[in-house]
Amino acid sequence: MPRPARVSYHDIKRAVTSRIQSRIWPQGTLLPTEAQLCAEFGCARATVSRALRELSDQGVVTRKRKSGTRVAILPPERARLDIPVTHRTVEDMGAAYTYALISRAEVATPAWLTAAIGAQENAPALHLTALHSADGAPFQLEERWILIAAVPNVREADFAAITPTEWLLAEVPFNDAEIAFSAIPADGNLPSLLNAAPGAPLFRLERTTWLEGAPVTRVHMTYRPGYQMRARY
Amino acid sequence: MPRPARVSYHDIKRAVTSRIQSRIWPQGTLLPTEAQLCAEFGCARATVSRALRELSDQGVVTRKRKSGTRVAILPPERARLDIPVTHRTVEDMGAAYTYALISRAEVATPAWLTAAIGAQENAPALHLTALHSADGAPFQLEERWILIAAVPNVREADFAAITPTEWLLAEVPFNDAEIAFSAIPADGNLPSLLNAAPGAPLFRLERTTWLEGAPVTRVHMTYRPGYQMRARY
DNA sequence: CTGTCCCTTATGTTTGGACATATCACGAGA
DNA sequence: TCTCGTGATATGTCCAAACATAAGGGACAG
């Protein structure tokens, strides 16, 4: 098989993954050193290095100085999940997106929340609920707390005109976030707002974001009955 | 501010993210070219290039040949989710892990499945159900179909001794996978097996994997009531 | 036998240089 | 006016060389 005039790091990635998948290098195997590989492929060490670094980022191999590079044991099923803003999710389904603010109030952060995110007791927060709809049918209910200390100008934001998610993305940088997925029963005002049978299972995404270690906002996004969140990898 | 003798691509990443977060470069801004940046930081273009490439991988900036590098508009909320094998999930909770095979049978792939994953009609499959427990309490119910054509030696596998996930990870490479999360009601045998109230909301993860475009296996993993799947990013 | 020091080795990073390639912008020709 | 080329430009990739750094392993002393 003729090899291209110049060997790309893509070629090396392909060759290595192929040997791993065909069990030429079973899991746990120590693979040749960068120097050996670049001799084999006839390219610079930087090229091999980049290929192996990217495979390491993907979790296909693990690398350690001096020890060398090994085929990862139990590839840790790593999925990259893109969570677009609801606006886009709905439009990608080919539906018309509409948004309505349901409630807005300044409150003291509830105790369960301060404990969960590491905020000060009774820190003032803006509490919002909003409904995102697809073709007029309820799609997602958003319940959000924004810590006013973290974003003082949130008081001036007009959340009837722009969704909290989009306002925050535009106004507030954040370093760190945590998400959690769970299944919850439709209770409280969920059945009527999301057009669900009482007690019906609903998919919920919770996200908390921090800036420099200080909590900024927490959101609960509860989807309409039957919603599935998907990802490929 | 004194700068280190040699500038690392980490320094550049920090400097760039800092300018983005502090709104010196608001979203959509075209940032200086690599050549300009490496003049500013006093380093080689390859160093700037690596920094910007990694920021691009993280979704912080978007790059296009000739056009240049821009601060990403609406950073697409990209989460990397690590889904360890159940074995590890349970042990990471500090609980004792046990596993039991509940049923094993060769069946024709059900029609809804062939349609969903692109398999042949009535393709023979191995159908398994198994229960994963933490400290003796049901933790996750696994229901799996393995296409025998894709993995002929699955007939010899002893799934009483090893979990299907771990056997497959060790035996079968795969290129491509899709996962979906949803909330489902506890019905059928779920209430008794997972110790859930009938109709209670349960979190479910579905995963399908392919090898060279041919489906290999589909699994439904249903978690005990109240389970949350978490990720940081 | 055990702990310390040092040498070796494999990966990690930077450099300065070169060529490749996508694509924007502009100008000539239809 | 519109279309098609063509050059300029910013990113994409590769190279050869060098130094940095973590860590395994052996020599040596206690």
On whether residue A16 sits in a domain, the answer given is yes
Tally the domains of chain B: 2
Q: Which range (A7-21, A68-82, A137-151, B52-66) has the least confidence?
A: A68-82
Task: Please indicate, yes or no, whether residues B173 and B114 belong to a single structural domain of this protein.
Answer: yes
Residue type, B2: P
Question: Which of the two residues, A126 and A176, has the higher pLDDT score?
Answer: A126
Task: Please indicate, yes or no, whether residues B97 and B67 belong to a single structural domain of this protein.
Answer: no
In the prediction, which pLDDT does B1 show?
Answer: 41
Helix or strand (DSSP H, E) at B39:
helix B34-41
Q: What does the alpha-carbon distance between residue B82 and residue B79 come to, in Å, rounded to a whole number? A: 10
Q: Which runs of consecutive H residues, i.e. helices, occur in B79-140? A: 86-92, 111-117
Task: Please indicate, yes or no, whether residues A50 and A142 belong to a single structural domain of this protein.
Answer: no
Q: End-to-end distance of chain B based on CA atoms, in angstroms?
A: 30
Query: What is the three-class DSSP state of A208?
Result: strand
CB within 8 Å: A180 and B228:
yes
On whether residue A231 sits in a domain, the answer given is no
Per cent of chain A over pLDDT 70 is: 97
Q: End-to-end distance of chain A based on CA atoms, in angstroms?
A: 30
In the 50-109 segment of chain B, residues within 7 Å (Cβ) of strand D are 52-53, 56, 63-69
| pTM of the predicted structure, to 2 decimals | 0.85
On whether residue B2 sits in a domain, the answer given is no
In the prediction, which pLDDT does A103 show?
Answer: 94
Measured between CA atoms, the residue of chain A closest to residue B165 is A74
Task: Please indicate, yes or no, whether residues A58 and A94 belong to a single structural domain of this protein.
Answer: no
| Residue of A176, A180, A199 with shortest CB distance to B199 | A199
| Residue of B80, B173, B202 with shortest CB distance to A201 | B202
What number of H helices and E strands is found in chain A?
A: 7, 10
On whether residue B39 sits in a domain, the answer given is yes
pLDDT band at residue A4 under the 50/70/90 scheme: low
> In CATH, what number is assigned to the domain containing residue B184?
3.40.1410.10
- Asked if B124 and B149 count as a contact pair (C-beta separation under 8 A), the reply is yes
Task: Please indicate, yes or no, whether residues A40 and A93 belong to a single structural domain of this protein.
Answer: no
- Name the DSSP letter for residue B199: T
DSSP result, A77-134: -EEEEE---HHHHHHHTT--EEEEEEEEEEEEPPHHHHHHHTPPTT-EEEEEEEEEEE
pLDDT band at residue A127 under the 50/70/90 scheme: very high
Count Cβ atoms below 10 Å from residue A7 Cβ, excluding itself: 18
Distance from CA of B1 to the nearest CA of A (A): 21
Residue nearest to nucleotide D13 (CA to C1'): A8
In the prediction, which pLDDT does B2 show?
Answer: 39
B59 sits in the region (left: phi over 0; alpha: psi -120 to 50; else beta) called left
Task: Please indicate, yes or no, whether residues B24 and B54 belong to a single structural domain of this protein.
Answer: yes
Burial of B53 (0-12, 13-18, 19+ CB in 10 A): middle
CB within 8 Å: A23 and B173:
yes
Host domain of residue B26: 9-71
For B117-138, letters b (16+ CB in 10 Å) and e give: bebeeebebbbbbbbbbbeeeb
Q: What does the alpha-carbon distance between residue B230 and residue A53 come to, in Å, rounded to a whole number? A: 26
Nucleotides of C under 7 A from a protein CB: 8-18, 21-24
Count Cβ atoms below 10 Å from residue A217 Cβ, excluding itself: 26
CA distances B92 to A79, A88, B134, B169, B223, Å, are 19, 36, 11, 20, 16
Q: Please choose, from the candidates A99, A12, A111, A130, the residue with its C-alpha nearest in 3D space to the C-alpha of residue A61.
A: A12
Q: What does the alpha-carbon distance between residue A179 and residue A219 come to, in Å, rounded to a whole number? A: 10
On whether residue B60 sits in a domain, the answer given is yes
Residue type, A103: S
Q: Which of B71, B95, B123 is the last residue of a domain?
A: B71
On whether residue B229 sits in a domain, the answer given is no
Q: Over 80: is that where the pLDDT of A148 sits?
A: yes
Count Cβ atoms below 10 Å from residue A195 Cβ, excluding itself: 14
CB within 8 Å: B79 and A179:
yes
In the prediction, which pLDDT does A219 show?
Answer: 95
On whether residue B162 sits in a domain, the answer given is yes
Q: What does the alpha-carbon distance between residue B107 and residue B146 come to, in Å, rounded to a whole number? A: 10
Per-residue model confidence as pLDDT tens for chain B (233 residues)? 434 567 899 999 999 999 998 889 998 999 999 999 999 999 999 999 999 999 999 989 999 999 999 999 876 677 778 887 898 889 889 999 999 999 999 999 999 899 888 878 888 999 999 999 999 899 999 999 999 999 999 999 999 999 999 899 888 877 788 999 999 999 999 999 999 999 999 999 999 999 888 899 999 999 999 999 998 87
On whether residue A30 sits in a domain, the answer given is yes
Q: Which residues of A touch B196 (CB under 8 A)?
A: none
- Asked if A146 and A155 count as a contact pair (C-beta separation under 8 A), the reply is no
Q: Which runs of consecutive H residues, i.e. helices, occur in chain A? A: 9-21, 34-41, 45-57, 86-92, 111-117, 164-171, 190-194
Residues β-bridged to residue B140? B132, B223
| Residue of A23, A79, A169 with shortest CB distance to B81 | A79
In the prediction, which pLDDT does A76 show?
Answer: 67
Q: Over 70: is that where the pLDDT of A96 sits?
A: yes
Task: Please indicate, yes or no, whether residues B186 and B90 belong to a single structural domain of this protein.
Answer: yes
- Asked if A34 and A45 count as a contact pair (C-beta separation under 8 A), the reply is yes
CB within 8 Å: B178 and A230:
yes
The radius of gyration computed from the CA coordinates of chain B, to the nearest angstrom, equals 24
Task: Please indicate, yes or no, whether residues A127 and A48 belong to a single structural domain of this protein.
Answer: no
Burial of B213 (0-12, 13-18, 19+ CB in 10 A): exposed
CB within 8 Å: A183 and B203:
yes
